[in-house]
Protein backbone atom coordinates (compact mmCIF):
# COMPACT_ATOMS: atom_id res chain seq x y z
CA UNK A 1 0.00 0.00 0.00
CA UNK A 2 2.84 2.39 0.82
CA UNK A 3 4.38 1.72 -2.58
CA UNK A 4 1.17 2.75 -4.32
CA UNK A 5 0.86 5.92 -2.25
CA UNK A 6 4.48 6.76 -3.00
CA UNK A 7 3.90 6.25 -6.72
CA UNK A 8 0.83 8.51 -6.73
CA UNK A 9 2.70 11.24 -4.85
CA UNK A 10 5.59 10.95 -7.32
CA UNK A 11 3.21 11.29 -10.25
CA UNK A 12 1.65 14.41 -8.70
CA UNK A 13 5.11 15.89 -8.18
CA UNK A 14 6.01 15.13 -11.79
CA UNK A 15 2.89 16.92 -13.00
CA UNK A 16 3.79 19.97 -10.87
CA UNK A 17 7.34 19.91 -12.25
CA UNK A 18 6.11 19.78 -15.85
CA UNK A 19 3.72 22.67 -15.23
CA UNK A 20 6.52 24.76 -13.72
CA UNK A 21 8.79 23.85 -16.63
CA UNK A 22 6.23 24.92 -19.23
CA UNK A 23 5.47 28.17 -17.41
CA UNK A 24 9.22 28.86 -17.25
CA UNK A 25 9.47 28.31 -21.02
CA UNK A 26 6.54 30.68 -21.58
CA UNK A 27 8.09 33.36 -19.38
CA UNK A 28 11.40 32.87 -21.17
CA UNK A 29 9.75 33.41 -24.57
CA UNK A 30 7.96 36.53 -23.32
CA UNK A 31 11.20 37.96 -21.93
CA UNK A 32 13.04 37.06 -25.10
CA UNK A 33 10.51 38.79 -27.34
CA UNK A 34 10.50 41.93 -25.19
CA UNK A 35 14.31 42.03 -25.05
CA UNK A 36 15.88 44.65 -27.28
CA UNK A 37 19.49 43.59 -27.43
CA UNK A 38 21.29 40.31 -27.93
CA UNK A 39 22.60 40.36 -24.33
CA UNK A 40 19.10 40.77 -22.92
CA UNK A 41 17.90 37.80 -25.00
CA UNK A 42 20.75 35.63 -23.70
CA UNK A 43 19.95 36.70 -20.13
CA UNK A 44 16.30 35.72 -20.70
CA UNK A 45 17.41 32.29 -21.97
CA UNK A 46 19.66 31.76 -18.95
CA UNK A 47 16.87 32.75 -16.54
CA UNK A 48 14.55 30.28 -18.28
CA UNK A 49 17.13 27.50 -17.96
CA UNK A 50 17.59 28.36 -14.29
CA UNK A 51 13.82 28.16 -13.68
CA UNK A 52 13.66 24.76 -15.39
CA UNK A 53 16.60 23.47 -13.34
CA UNK A 54 14.94 24.77 -10.15
CA UNK A 55 11.73 22.90 -11.03
CA UNK A 56 13.71 19.70 -11.61
CA UNK A 57 15.57 20.10 -8.31
CA UNK A 58 12.26 20.57 -6.47
CA UNK A 59 10.92 17.38 -8.11
CA UNK A 60 13.88 15.36 -6.84
CA UNK A 61 13.53 16.90 -3.37
CA UNK A 62 9.83 15.97 -3.20
CA UNK A 63 10.57 12.41 -4.37
CA UNK A 64 13.18 12.05 -1.63
CA UNK A 65 10.61 13.23 0.93
CA UNK A 66 8.12 10.64 -0.36
CA UNK A 67 10.72 7.89 0.08
CA UNK A 68 11.41 9.05 3.65
CA UNK A 69 7.70 9.03 4.51
CA UNK A 70 7.15 5.54 3.17
CA UNK A 71 10.30 4.26 4.90
CA UNK A 72 9.05 5.67 8.20
CA UNK A 73 5.81 3.72 7.80
CA UNK A 74 7.64 0.53 6.92
CA UNK A 75 9.65 0.65 10.14
CA UNK A 76 6.57 0.11 12.33
CA UNK A 77 6.01 -3.51 11.23
CA UNK A 78 5.53 -5.97 14.10
CA UNK A 79 6.84 -9.43 13.22
CA UNK A 80 4.49 -12.37 13.68
CA UNK A 81 5.49 -14.92 16.26
CA UNK A 82 3.69 -18.03 17.27
CA UNK A 83 3.74 -21.77 16.73
CA UNK A 84 3.38 -21.43 12.93
CA UNK A 85 5.58 -18.39 12.31
CA UNK A 86 9.31 -17.80 12.39
CA UNK A 87 10.74 -16.80 15.72
CA UNK A 88 13.04 -13.80 16.18
CA UNK A 89 16.75 -14.49 15.88
CA UNK A 90 18.40 -15.50 19.14
CA UNK A 91 15.35 -17.01 20.85
CA UNK A 92 15.22 -20.67 21.72
CA UNK A 93 12.99 -22.85 19.59
CA UNK A 94 10.18 -24.73 21.30
CA UNK A 95 10.71 -28.48 21.58
CA UNK A 96 9.02 -30.20 18.69
CA UNK A 97 8.63 -33.72 20.13
CA UNK A 98 8.76 -35.41 23.49
CA UNK A 99 10.61 -38.69 23.66
CA UNK A 100 8.92 -41.66 25.31
CA UNK A 101 11.40 -43.39 27.66
CA UNK A 102 10.19 -46.86 26.63
CA UNK A 103 11.32 -46.41 23.03
CA UNK A 104 14.77 -45.70 21.62
CA UNK A 105 16.17 -42.19 21.73
CA UNK A 106 15.55 -41.71 17.99
CA UNK A 107 11.93 -40.94 18.79
CA UNK A 108 10.53 -43.48 16.34
CA UNK A 109 8.93 -46.85 17.01
CA UNK A 110 10.90 -50.08 16.59
CA UNK A 111 10.58 -51.74 13.17
CA UNK A 112 8.65 -54.75 14.57
CA UNK A 113 5.82 -52.57 15.85
CA UNK A 114 5.51 -50.53 12.72
CA UNK A 115 2.04 -51.69 11.69
CA UNK A 116 0.41 -52.08 15.10
- What pLDDT was estimated at residue 35? 92
- What pLDDT was estimated at residue 73? 72
What is the C-alpha separation between 65 and 17, in angstroms, rounded?
A: 15
Residue 36 has pLDDT above 80, yes or no: yes
pLDDT tens digit string along 57-85?
999 999 999 888 888 777 665 556 556 66
What is the C-alpha separation between 88 and 82, in angstroms, rounded?
A: 10
Find the angle CA(67)-CA(74)-CA(90) to the nearest 5 degrees.
135
- What pLDDT was estimated at residue 113? 61
pTM equals 0.55
Higher pLDDT, 19 or 105: 19
What is the C-alpha separation between 106 and 113, in angstroms, rounded?
A: 15
- What pLDDT was estimated at residue 31? 93
What is the pLDDT averaged over residues 18-36? 93
Amino acid sequence: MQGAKEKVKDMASTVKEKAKKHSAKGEEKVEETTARSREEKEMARERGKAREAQAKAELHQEKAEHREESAAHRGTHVPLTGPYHNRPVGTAAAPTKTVDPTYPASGGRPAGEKYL
